[in-house]
Amino acid sequence: MLVRIRKEFGTRRVSDVRPSDIQKFYNALAGQTSVSTANRHLTLICSIFSKAKLWGLFYGDNPVGAVKREKEPAHRLRFLSMEEWERLYEAAHERLKPVLICAVKTGMRKSEIINLGWENVDLEHGVIYILQSKSGRPREIHIASSLRECLLALGPKASGPVFALPEIMLRRYFDQAVRASRVKDFCFHDLRHTFASHYIMKTNDLPALQKALGHSTPAMTLRYAHLSQGHMASNMAAFDSAIPVKRLFPHSQLAPGMAPSVSDEREILVKSVVK
């Protein structure tokens, strides 16, 4: 991003950059790439001006504040069904299978999996320690029993990479598995979505999912909330009996043997209120 920004503004004084200049740059970039990419660039430019003010190098208003941002499209949410997961796993190279297990059992990013060292895996207490993450905050991930068996089979060591698989080989094996399994429209990061989607559908626990994924705010995690609606409906049905409520109208106001329809209930409720 800095390469693009320097090319556009690198020879100009900060005080000479106007909102219209940034708007023109933003519009052109959004047209060439995407709104999401343009917004990331705009955020970086905004940070540059904010730091300049903080350090006493610039005293005007931040020109980015007057730039109109476009709304980003909804985030893609692709995850594997159980049938798709089985096909992908069966088609995978033996060296790739432990990586796939780790991805769907932890929701770790590809870079976190590749850089995971044995010194950050505590099998005794069942915890993986992520010291460097995208958010910049360390986090702990509890090890599921199936993942623990996989890690034990790899032969734990005092230190060194857990998955001795260079990224270029990982990418090659993964692409081969996707093609062989005929799983459509799927990339490695979607394994993280697969973990998150099935986790929320099984537990309905958004705060725990946020912690597991390492999201700094709930906003990103809330993308998965709609997946738990069916489970929430069954939970609500179970909860309903916990607090008994008297009916607002007696069935005696209806003809014998008839259950109230929605329109009947509305009419009787209105009559009760009027009285």
Q: What are the DSSP calls for 126-141, one per residue?
A: TEEEE-S-TTS--EEE
Residue 200 has what pLDDT?
86
State both tokens at 243.
Answer: 């607090």
| pLDDT value at residue 130 | 92
Predicted confidence at residue 274, as pLDDT, reads 47
> Is the separation of the CB atoms in 130 and 139 below 8 Å?
yes
Q: What is the pLDDT of residue 90?
A: 96
In a domain, 29, yes or no: yes
53 and 91 belong to one structural domain: no
Residue 45 is part of which domain span?
2-66
Same domain, 163 and 32: no
Q: Verify that 19 and 115 share a domain, yes or no.
A: no
Supply the pLDDT for residue 101: 96
Q: What are the Cα distances from residue 261, in Å, to 240, 252, 264, 267? A: 20, 14, 5, 10
Q: Indicate the number of domains in the chain.
A: 2
The answer as to whether 151 is a domain residue is yes
| CATH code at position 129 | 1.10.443.10
Query: Do 62 and 172 fall into the same domain?
Result: no
**Torsion sign, CA atoms 187, 192, 195, 196:** negative
Mean pLDDT of 117-142: 88
Higher pLDDT, 99 or 272: 99
What does the pLDDT average to over 59-78?
86
User: What pLDDT score does 138 carry?
Assistant: 86
State residue 273's pLDDT score: 45
Q: Which of 16-30, 47-61, 74-88 bottoms out in mean pLDDT, i.e. has the lowest?
A: 74-88
Q: Are residues 119 and 204 in the same domain?
A: yes
Mean pLDDT of 253-257: 53
**Residue-level pLDDT at 77:** 79
Q: Note whether 133 and 209 are same-domain residues.
A: yes
Q: Are residues 35 and 162 in the same domain?
A: no
Same domain assignment for residues 22 and 95: no
Q: What single DSSP character describes residue 69?
A: P
Closest Cα partner for 109 from 92, 95, 125, 130?
130
Sign of CA dihedral 103, 109, 112, 115: positive
Q: What is the model's pLDDT at position 269?
A: 46
Distance, in Å, from the CA atom of 111 to the CA atom of 170, rounded to the nearest integer, reads 11
How many residues in the chain?
275
CA distances, 64 to each of 1, 73, 88 (Å) = 16, 21, 45
- Mean pLDDT (the chain) is 85
Q: What is the pLDDT of residue 245?
A: 75
pLDDT band at residue 218, thresholds of 50, 70 and 90?
confident
Within a domain: 274: no
The answer to whether residues 110 and 57 belong to one domain is no
245 found inside a domain: no
- 156-182 mean pLDDT: 94
Residue 27 and residue 146 share a domain: no
Examine residue 237 and state whether it is found in any structural domain, yes or no: no
Region 24-49: mean pLDDT is 93
Average pLDDT value for residue range 90-100: 96
Same domain? For 98 and 180 the reply is yes
Q: Among 162-171, 229-238, 263-272, name the one with the lowest average pLDDT.
A: 263-272
Burial of 174 (0-12, 13-18, 19+ CB in 10 A): buried
Average pLDDT over residues 189-202: 90
| DSSP-based three-state secondary structure for 25 | helix
Residue 85 reports pLDDT greater than 50: yes
Q: Is the pLDDT of residue 76 over 80?
A: no
Average pLDDT over residues 30-41: 90
Question: Do 100 and 210 fall into the same domain?
Answer: yes
Least confident of 16-30, 161-175, 257-271: 257-271
In 107-189, alpha helices (H): 110-114, 145-154, 167-181
